[in-house]
């Protein structure tokens, strides 16, 4: 492979078994990164790795539940053992259960599960990953938030919304804490993306699909590559002065009043 935008970098990606995480695993590897593809579904992560390797890239699969500290710690250790360092933490893993609604009718167990994966997971990866970035002289943290962290929604998904707002706020705090030490932290705020997380239920409901699609000025849902293109920039040295930003990639949905 010819030198790419991520040549020589070691990138840990969570939720690497499907959707945006799988796309990122392949794209990052193609751009020269050594990728540590983490997912609680090891077989899914292995499929992403196989695709990356078939394209000539370097990648390993690691089983990891981001809400379990011991598993996160072990995954970070596995990354350093395999490649000697860490340059990028890509916190992509997230859940969006169909029974997440308004605070008035969302079950406590749903709330706890969403916050455990979407927020605690970011905290744990950063807790154990940041020391490795510091040991390597700096790096990049990429946190996947959401457009719902920026606007309210009349069709509520309150646990998810709260979790992504927390990810955005945490990203800014990390940017201020660790920017002086060479670590830049940024959040990506995607609009609705055609991933298994969304299509598993939304595309089965034509009225619900149309309701959301009508809000997007570009006239389509996003693709995984639309978000990974931004993540690729944030992982690369091209973004060396981008820190604490909320990168909105949403087809214009947050700009649409009517």
Residues taking part in catalysis = 160
| HSE (side-chain half, CA atoms, 13 Å) at 59 | 33
The pairing of strands 10-14 and 34-39 is parallel
The pairing of strands 10-14 and 183-190 is unpaired
Contact by Cβ (8 Å): 74, 134: no
What is the chain's Cα-based Rg? 17
Rounded to an integer, what distance in angstroms lies between the CA atom of residue 155 and that of residue 77?
41
Backbone CA torsion sign across 201, 167, 244, 36: negative
Dihedral over alpha carbons 12, 15, 19, 25 (to 10 degrees): 20
Taking residue 51's Cβ as centre, other Cβ atoms within 10 Å add up to 17
């Amino acid at each position: 492979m010819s030198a790419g935008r991520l040549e020589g970098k070691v990138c840990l990606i969570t939720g690497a078994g499907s959707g945006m995480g799988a796309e990122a695993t392949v794209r990052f590897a193609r751009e020269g990164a050594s990728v540590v593809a983490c997912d609680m579904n090891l077989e899914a992560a292995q499929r992403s790795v196989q695709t990356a390797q078939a394209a000539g890239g370097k990648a390993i699969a690691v089983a990891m539940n981001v809400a379990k500290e011991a598993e996160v710690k072990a995954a970070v250790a596995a990354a350093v053992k395999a490649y000697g360092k860490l340059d990028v933490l890509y916190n992509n893993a997230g859940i969006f259960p169909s029974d997440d609604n308004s605070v008035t009718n969302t079950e406590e167990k749903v709330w706890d599960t969403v916050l455990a994966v979407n927020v605690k997971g970011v905290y744990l990866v950063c807790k154990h990953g940041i020391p490795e970035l510091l040991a390597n002289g700096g790096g990049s943290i990429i946190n996947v938030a959401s457009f719902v962290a920026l606007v309210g929604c009349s069709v509520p998904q309150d646990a998810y919304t709260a979790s992504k707002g927390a990810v955005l706020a945490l990203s800014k705090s990390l940017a201020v804490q660790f920017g002086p030490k060479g670590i830049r932290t940024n959040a990506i705020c995607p609009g609705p993306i055609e991933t298994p997380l969304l299509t598993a239920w939304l595309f089965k409901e034509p009225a619900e699909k149309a309701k959301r699609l009508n809000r997007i000025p570009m006239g389509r849902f996003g693709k995984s590559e639309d978000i990974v293109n931004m993540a690729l920039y944030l992982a690369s040295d091209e973004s060396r002065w981008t820190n604490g930003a909320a990168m909105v990639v949403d087809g214009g949905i947050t700009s649409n009043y009517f």
